[in-house]
């Protein structure tokens, strides 16, 4: 089910936006013009990920080395600080089994959305999620 | 058949009767220092010589420390095929690094000459001097003698065991395929609690439990096993039952604080199960909880049987914790860990 | 901020959810001025707190989150976590339907300060502040009786001054004191607490002035998290072996935020070594585990999370179902949500006890 979140201009790069769609709270992130949507709920004890800090991912192959990349692409749960990959919703400590749901998010132009009977301004583009 | 026929006893103690016993094994300057300076000995508060737990009463012939004959009689009684000696004599307490080195080497020399030479069942830990470079040199000196099967430090030293200042030691141990044994006891650079000095010896004995937790925390968080994937560590006389709760807490913390130690890429509990073993004497749990506790450990590969002769942990013969895999516990885990135990009977 | 449904009482918590660990925060250091003398105000604002470490700001082991708090606990006006009663009510008390919440003020409480006089002055001020800013306006809250524990006689005076005031539910100590808490030096505190019928809550933290492990100083905050357990083990061993519970048979101790799963292994170790050491400790008349069972309670947070959840049931059974008290640790980051942190496969009566029944029994609520 398609859900129109907001005009693209409302979610600048680096920002996050919380919305409700299909009875679920969803947080949308803009990573350098690409949009990603996650369930706004940590799988641990249910905290709102949208309240969490954003950072990069630090990994290391040896003690004393800090390889820091992907700045802005990791959200840390506001409570116990579990790190989640904004692009996929997967946790970094156990990506196979611990994750928050990721939804498809992309941009559509107002004209096409209006044709699908969404009430939008045809001159704008919109962030859309599929729930 | 004897109760522990063919077993590997991972922790026995050759008791140093006094400084005089070490004298022939010291360099002349240090041997002469004993009289010149009136050195009385390096007995440690961790094991006061006359305290009941230090030597079980029936192992204390005519009030003196048991010697080799008494230990041999004990090995004859249990039927152990191999006994690994952890010499406990407070050389680690010495502040002068050179004196510490000298007396530690003397202790190792004494163990070799007076114990290893005299009974083919015996193996020993290399007692490590405190300074990193001295410790590496001692490993290089004694590693060629395959009767030395690991290196030993006291669990409570001056600097936590994971710290990088120790790493040349771990490199040497990994190179030689020797585990590191952390044994109960303190060099008393710090009090036995993080809250200061205790009033009762009973508290000192209990405090070993905390020391091992801190040691494992340091080894894991500093990334020792990432840096030295071939290194194994043996925790001797830790009590065992503290381990599951500790692993739960550390793994939980790691999930959220991982970024502080990014080299630790797996749950700490998995690292511990791969790299750490524990002697199971004392075993701090009642029989009725033992099976569940073993389930909490999550592996039958962790425990090494040990008699801890002549420390007083039990009367008569030691018993096996209910639920333990007998073959692994008595022999298999030690045989897998120590790759120098040639001539271990099948 | 979290926007869960307002009516979020834990399933089967029943009526009467109690939270034995809440950390109120003064919005600024000025908050205590009304209750400090001119001399002590001057000290507070010029030299500040002087614990047994070197930092003026922050702590020796920097936290993993700002102010060690949940990111969503900053107030809508940007105030620091747990500094605003209205927001605290909304986000915590009302949100979860908490009937009774116990305040445990941490720094800047002046506890463990190297200056005894200042510590005593701050204890008085913090106690007054708790009443004025929190307990009086919010009847669901109770205060902890903050004391300058490194001056046990002054602590006893502060306890006796407030004994009988039902707004104080316990005496508060920190776990890392300059000597282990069983040492007779601290006994005047226990004497006064027992006399007043107040449990003694011992909360993780404080700075003893000694290395944070018995093998030296750790490097990382994550090690300190682990050492809250070991420090608490040491203080408990001290209290048992020094004979605190023999000397103060009505004393109750609540260990807060130190973890709980380690408790059985400490009791077992002490029981194991006791027979061979009895000659050293004739003042002990009972097995160590009996003293622990009769005198010690533990709070849940941070609740342990074994790989196999049923292992936690074993541990809780060994501790005793009546000895376990739910705590949130609001507003800290390792906060335990009452709806989800206590396993839901425990029977309803057990959950009810953990969520409130046990705390009411210990604290007399």
CB atoms within 10 A of CB B345: 8
- Quick one: DSSP state of residue B282? S
Q: Which of A48, A76, A80 sits opposite C334 (nearest CB)?
A: A80
Pairing of strands C200-203, C253-256: parallel
Looking at residue C4, what is its pLDDT?
A: 36
Q: Is C337 on the interface with A (CB under 8 A)?
A: yes
Which CATH class name applies to C17-363?
alpha beta
Task: Report residue B154: phi and psi, to 5°.
Answer: -75, 145
User: Counting beta carbons within 10 angstroms of the beta carbon of residue B311, is it exposed (0 to 12), middle (13 to 18) or buried (19 or more)?
Assistant: buried
What is the Cα–Cα distance from A77 to A92, expressed in whole angstroms?
Answer: 12
Please choose, from the candidates A97, A68, A69, A93, the residue with its C-alpha nearest in 3D space to the C-alpha of residue A83.
Answer: A93
What is the Cα–Cα distance from B279 to B289, expressed in whole angstroms?
Answer: 18
- Quick one: DSSP state of residue C330? B
Is residue C209 over pLDDT 80? Answer: yes
User: Chain C residue with minimal CA distance to A44?
Assistant: C340
Q: What is the mean pLDDT of residues B120-137?
A: 98
Looking at residue C12, what is its pLDDT?
A: 43
Looking at residue C16, what is its pLDDT?
A: 77
Looking at residue C23, what is its pLDDT?
A: 98
Token pair recorded at residue A100: 């928050």
Q: What is the mean pLDDT of residues C72-86?
A: 95
**Domain residues of chain C, as ranges?**
17-363
Q: What is the mean pLDDT of residues B88-107?
A: 98
pLDDT tens digit string along C35-75? 999 999 999 999 999 999 999 988 999 999 999 999 999 99
pLDDT tens digit string along B149-182? 999 999 999 999 999 999 999 999 999 999 999 9
Looking at residue C341, what is its pLDDT?
A: 82
Q: Is the CB of B263 less than 8 angstroms away from the CB of A63?
A: yes
Q: Which residues pair with C276 in a beta bridge?
A: none
pLDDT tens digit string along B8-42? 999 999 999 999 999 999 999 999 999 999 999 99
Instruction: Name chain B's partners: 3 or more CB pairs within 8 A.
Output: A, C
In order of their start, the domains of chain B are 8-337 (3.20.20.140)
Q: Is A98 on the interface with C (CB under 8 A)?
A: no
Using an 8 Å Cβ cutoff, are B158 and C216 in contact? yes
- pLDDT class of C30 with cuts at 50, 70, 90: very high
Q: Is the CB of A79 less than 8 angstroms away from the CB of C70?
A: yes
Token pair recorded at residue C127: 């106690």
Looking at residue C342, what is its pLDDT?
A: 85
Using an 8 Å Cβ cutoff, are C220 and C61 in contact? yes
pLDDT tens digit string along B210-246? 999 999 999 999 999 999 999 999 999 999 999 999 9
Please choose, from the candidates A91, A69, A89, the residue with its C-alpha nearest in 3D space to the C-alpha of residue A81.
Answer: A91
Is residue B100 over pLDDT 90? Answer: yes
Opening angle at CA C200, ends C196 and C202, nearest 5: 160
Looking at residue B345, what is its pLDDT?
A: 44
What is the Cα–Cα distance from B304 to B300, expressed in whole angstroms?
Answer: 10
CA distances from C202 to B73, B227, C133, C185, C228 (A): 50, 39, 23, 16, 11
Q: Is A64 on the interface with B (CB under 8 A)?
A: yes
pLDDT tens digit string along A75-113? 999 999 999 999 999 999 999 999 999 999 999 999 999
Q: Is the CB of B256 less than 8 angstroms away from the CB of A67?
A: no
Q: Is the CB of C276 less than 8 angstroms away from the CB of B246?
A: no
pLDDT tens digit string along A19-78? 999 899 999 999 999 999 999 999 999 999 999 999 999 999 999 999 999 999 999 999
Q: Is A48 on the interface with C (CB under 8 A)?
A: yes
Q: Is the CB of B214 less than 8 angstroms away from the CB of C181?
A: no
Q: Is C341 on the interface with A (CB under 8 A)?
A: yes
Token pair recorded at residue C233: 């083990």
Q: Is the CB of B256 less than 8 angstroms away from the CB of A65?
A: no
User: What DSSP line would sit under A38-101, residue for residue?
Assistant: EESS-TTT---GGGSPEEEEEE-SSTT--EEEEEEEEEE-TTT--EEETTT-BBSS-TTT-B--
Tell me which of B263, B266, B269, B271 to substitute to probe the interface with A (most A C-beta atoms closer than 10 Å). Answer: B263
User: Chain A residue with minimal CA distance to C70?
Assistant: A79
Is residue C11 over pLDDT 60? Answer: no
Strands (E), chain C: 17-22, 98-103, 141-146, 168-174, 200-203, 253-256, 296-299, 324-325
Q: Which of A65, A66, A80 sits opposite B255 (nearest CB)?
A: A80
Count CA atoms closer than 13 A to B23's CA, side-chain side: 12
Residues from chain B contacting residue C214 (CB–CB below 8 Å): 156, 186, 190-194, 207, 210-211, 214
On average, the pLDDT of chain B sits at 96
Residue pointed to by tokens 């690094």: B97
pLDDT tens digit string along C102-143? 999 999 999 999 999 999 999 999 999 999 999 999 999 999
Looking at residue B240, what is its pLDDT?
A: 98
Looking at residue B342, what is its pLDDT?
A: 73
pLDDT tens digit string along B55-74? 999 999 888 999 999 999 99
Looking at residue C172, what is its pLDDT?
A: 98
Looking at residue C10, what is its pLDDT?
A: 52
pLDDT tens digit string along C267-309? 999 999 999 999 999 999 999 999 999 999 999 999 999 989 8
Sign of CA dihedral A91, A96, A102, A104: positive
pLDDT tens digit string along A114-130? 999 899 998 899 999 99
Q: Is A45 on the interface with C (CB under 8 A)?
A: yes
Q: Which of C2, C64, C65 sits opposite A47 (nearest CB)?
A: C2
Q: What is the mean pLDDT of residues B114-120?
A: 97
pLDDT tens digit string along C181-193? 999 999 999 999 9
In order of their start, the domains of chain A are 2-130 (2.102.10.10)
- pLDDT class of C9 with cuts at 50, 70, 90: low
Please choose, from the candidates B250, B185, B237, the residue with its C-alpha nearest in 3D space to the C-alpha of residue B12.
Answer: B237
């Amino acid at each position: 089910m398609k859900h129109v979140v907001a005009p693209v201009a409302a979610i600048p790069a680096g920002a996050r936006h919380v919305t409700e769609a299909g009875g679920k709270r969803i947080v949308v992130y803009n990573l350098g013009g690409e949009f990603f949507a996650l369930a706004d709920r940590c799988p641990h004890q249910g905290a709102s990920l949208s309240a969490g800090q954003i950072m990069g991912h630090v990994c290391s192959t040896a003690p004393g080395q800090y390889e820091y990349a992907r700045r802005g692409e990791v959200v840390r749960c506001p409570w116990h600080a579990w790190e989640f990959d904004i692009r996929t919703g997967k946790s970094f400590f156990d990506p196979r089994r611990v994750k928050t749901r990721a939804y498809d998010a992309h941009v559509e132009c107002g004209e096409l959305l209006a044709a699908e009977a969404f009430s939008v301004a045809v001159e704008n583009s919109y962030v859309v999620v599929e729930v | 058949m004897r109760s522990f026929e063919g077993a590997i006893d991972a922790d026995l103690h050759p008791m140093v009767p006094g400084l005089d016993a070490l004298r022939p094994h010291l360099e002349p300057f240090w041997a002469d220092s004993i009289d010149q300076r009136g050195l009385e000995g390096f007995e440690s508060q961790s094991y006061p010589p006359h305290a009941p737990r230090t030597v079980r009463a029936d192992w204390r012939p005519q009030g003196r420390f048991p010697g080799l004959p008494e230990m041999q009689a004990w090995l004859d009684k249990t039927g152990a095929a191999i006994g690994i000696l952890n010499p406990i004599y407070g050389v680690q307490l010495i502040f002068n690094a050179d004196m510490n080195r000298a007396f530690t080497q003397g202790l190792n020399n004494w163990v070799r000459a007076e114990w290893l030479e005299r009974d083919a069942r015996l193996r020993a830990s290399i007692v490590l001097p405190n300074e990193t470079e001295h410790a590496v040199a001692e490993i290089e000196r004694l590693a060629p003698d395959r009767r030395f099967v690991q290196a030993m430090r006291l669990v409570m030293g001056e600097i936590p065991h994971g710290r990088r200042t120790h790493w040349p030691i771990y490199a040497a141990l990994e190179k030689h395929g020797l585990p590191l044994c952390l044994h109960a006891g303190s060099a008393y650079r710090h009090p036995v609690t993080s809250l200061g000095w205790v009033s009762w010896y009973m508290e000192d004995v209990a405090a070993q439990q905390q020391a091992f937790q801190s040691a494992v925390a340091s080894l894991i968080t500093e990334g020792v096993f990432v840096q030295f994937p071939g290194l194994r560590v043996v925790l001797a006389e830790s009590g065992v039952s503290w381990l599951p709760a500790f692993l739960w807490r550390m793994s939980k913390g790691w999930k959220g604080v991982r970024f502080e130690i990014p080299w630790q890429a797996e749950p700490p509990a998995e690292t511990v199960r791969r790299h750490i073993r524990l002697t199971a004497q004392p075993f701090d749990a009642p029989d009725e909880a033992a099976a569940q506790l073993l389930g909490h450990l999550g592996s039958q590969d962790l425990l090494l049987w040990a008699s801890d002769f002549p420390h007083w942990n039990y009367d008569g013969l030691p018993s096996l914790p209910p639920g333990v895999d007998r073959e692994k516990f008595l022999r298999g885990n030690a045989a897998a860990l120590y790759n120098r135990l040639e001539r271990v009977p099948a | 901020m979290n926007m869960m449904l307002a009516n979020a009482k834990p399933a089967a918590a029943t009526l009467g959810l109690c939270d034995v660990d809440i950390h109120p925060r003064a919005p600024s250091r000025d908050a205590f001025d009304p209750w400090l003398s001119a001399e002590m105000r001057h000290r507070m604002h010029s030299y500040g707190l002087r614990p047994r470490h070197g930092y003026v700001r922050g702590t020796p082991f920097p936290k993993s989150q700002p102010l060690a708090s949940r990111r969503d606990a900053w107030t809508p006006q940007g105030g620091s976590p747990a500094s605003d009663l209205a927001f605290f009510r909304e986000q915590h008390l009302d949100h979860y339907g908490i009937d009774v919440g116990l305040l445990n003020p941490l720094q800047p409480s002046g506890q463990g300060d190297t200056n005894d006089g200042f510590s005593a002055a701050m204890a008085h001020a913090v106690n007054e502040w708790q009443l004025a800013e929190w307990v009086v306006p919010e009847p669901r809250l109770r205060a902890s009786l903050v004391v300058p524990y490194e001056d046990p006689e002054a602590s006893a005076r502060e306890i006796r001054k407030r004994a009988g005031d039902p707004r104080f539910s316990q005496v508060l100590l920190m776990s890392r004191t300059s000597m282990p808490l069983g040492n007779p030096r601290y006994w005047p505190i226990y004497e006064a607490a027992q006399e007043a019928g107040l449990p003694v809550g011992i909360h993780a933290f404080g700075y003893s002035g000694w290395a944070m492990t018995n093998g030296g100083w750790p490097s990382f905050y994550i090690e300190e998290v682990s050492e809250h357990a070991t420090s608490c083990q040491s203080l408990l061993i001290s209290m048992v072996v020094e004979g605190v519970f023999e000397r103060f048979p009505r004393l109750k101790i609540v260990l807060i935020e130190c973890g709980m799963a380690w408790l059985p292994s400490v009791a077992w170790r002490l029981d194991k070594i006791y027979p061979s050491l009895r000659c050293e400790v004739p003042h002990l008349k009972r097995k160590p585990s009996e003293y622990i069972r009769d005198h010690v309670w533990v709070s849940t947070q941070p609740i342990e999370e074994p790989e196999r959840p049923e292992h936690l049931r074993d541990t809780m059974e060994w501790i005793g179902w009546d000895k376990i008290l739910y705590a949130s640790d609001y507003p800290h980051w390792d906060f335990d949500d009452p709806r989800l942190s206590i396993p839901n496969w425990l029977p309803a009566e057990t959950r009810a006890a953990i969520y409130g029944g046990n705390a009411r029994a210990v604290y007399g609520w």
